[in-house]
Amino acid sequence: MPRLLITGCGDSMRWYAGLVGQCVPYLADVGTEYKSREPSGFVNFVQYADAVVLADGEDPALACIAELAAQLEAEANDFERRARIHRYGAADLRRTLGNFGGVA
């Protein structure tokens, strides 16, 4: 049976706030979040951003590492994009400064 690995929780009031790093039952994907079951037995929901679905037998530790690697790669791509924007902006400012007789 698939499980949800709770990878984070931005809201301390959610039922799974104390379960980060642990697995909970995966019941369904309802289109906006995952349907799960609380330890007390109640059916409840987990936000997509706070969990990953683990297949049968998948190691939660390896899933955490893969999730972290994906997040780091996304952040690196974002930093590279921002650096390009800053480089282009700096070049434009130098050209503008040169047009007014400043040091280019």
Q: What is the pLDDT of residues 24-73, one digit of tens each?
A: 999 999 999 999 999 999 999 999 999 999 988 888 778 778 878 888 89
Residue 103 confidence (pLDDT): 61
Closest Cα partner for 34 from 25, 62, 42, 20? 25
Residue 96 confidence (pLDDT): 85
Specify the CATH number of the domain 1-57.
2.30.30
* pLDDT at residue 4 is higher than 70: yes
CA distance 102 to 104: 6
Average pLDDT rounded to a whole number, residues 94-103: 79
Residue 78 is encoded by which pair of tokens? 């974002």
* pLDDT at residue 16 is higher than 60: yes
* pLDDT at residue 104 is higher than 60: no
Q: Are 28 and 53 in contact (CB under 8 A)?
A: no
* pLDDT at residue 97 is higher than 70: yes
